[in-house]
């Protein structure tokens, strides 16, 4: 059974760095083809793709984020970390991590999400 | 602005059918058979209901079907039920640089 859960601060000040952790179980991020993606959703708005990290450490990002986002993994802890630099009010959102299935190119299991507010 | 274009809203009465479109380009929807659809109820995480254009994961009712023609994908819900009222998002694989592009979502209302 695959599960994922996001954790991190609920409130971040503008210009600071946001770090969120996705802790997962039921799969290994050392298995060929496996990836973990990050998606966010501002209140009342659409889902936005942030990026993904794969089993072999390749990362792919949404170009619109202009290098403000990095994704790393710690396979020994079954964790993936999302870092968003120089946050602003537009980064206020619910952040989700999801298991990215290789052969379907789909996000087949999602975490419950965590709401992060950017405010001074 | 989302990479894939969906109508902001759709509606139908219980028992009826409704189709939601998802328009992309020859670099995403038109180039790969990796279109997915997600259902999101208010306050909940999205749930995968269609992958690889038209494949339903285990447990997803057959009332949900999907297809693709050229640069446009479509999701059809037949026999609408009250619980189908939700937001629906399409995604497409877009190559090894970005991986995935999302649609802007469609709010389905069951009248």
Summarised one tens digit per residue, pLDDT across range B9-66 is 999 999 999 999 999 999 999 999 999 999 999 999 999 999 999 999 999 999 999 9
Give φ, ψ of B82 to 5 degrees: -55, -40
Q: Residue A102: its pLDDT value, please? A: 86
Q: Residue B1: its pLDDT value, please? A: 75
pLDDT category of residue B94 using cuts at 50, 70 and 90: very high
Contact A104/B at CB under 8 A: yes
Residue numbers of chain A with a pLDDT score lower than 70: none
| Interface of chain B toward chain A, CB-CB under 8 angstroms | 2, 32, 34, 36, 38, 40, 45-48, 51-52, 55, 57, 89, 91, 93, 96-105
The three-class DSSP label of residue B83 is helix
CA distance A109 to B26: 28
Q: Residue A42: its pLDDT value, please? A: 98
């Amino acid at each position: 059974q695959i599960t994922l859960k996001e954790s991190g601060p609920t409130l971040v000040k503008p210009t600071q760095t946001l770090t969120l952790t996705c802790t997962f179980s039921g799969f290994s991020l050392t298995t060929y083809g496996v990836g973990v993606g990050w998606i966010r959703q501002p209140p009342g708005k659409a889902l936005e793709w942030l990026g993904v990290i794969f089993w072999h450490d390749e990362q792919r990002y949404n170009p619109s984020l202009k290098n403000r986002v990095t994704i790393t993994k710690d396979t020994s802890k079954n964790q993936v970390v999302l870092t968003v630099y120089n946050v602003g009010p537009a980064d206020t959102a619910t952040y989700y991590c999801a298991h990215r299935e290789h052969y379907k190119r789909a996000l087949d299991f999602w975490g419950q999400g965590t709401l992060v507010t950017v405010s001074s | 602005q989302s990479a894939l274009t969906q109508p902001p809203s759709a509606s139908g009465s219980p028992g009826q059918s409704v189709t939601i479109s998802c328009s992309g380009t020859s670099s995403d929807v038109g180039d790969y058979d990796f279109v997915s659809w997600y259902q999101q109820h208010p306050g909940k995480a999205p749930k995968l209901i269609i992958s690889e254009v038209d494949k339903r994961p285990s447990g997803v009712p057959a009332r949900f079907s999907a297809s693709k023609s050229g640069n446009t994908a479509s999701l059809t819900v037949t026999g609408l039920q009250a619980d189908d009222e939700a937001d629906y998002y399409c995604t497409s694989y877009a190559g090894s640089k970005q991986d995935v592009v999302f649609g802007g979502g469609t709010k389905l209302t069951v009248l």
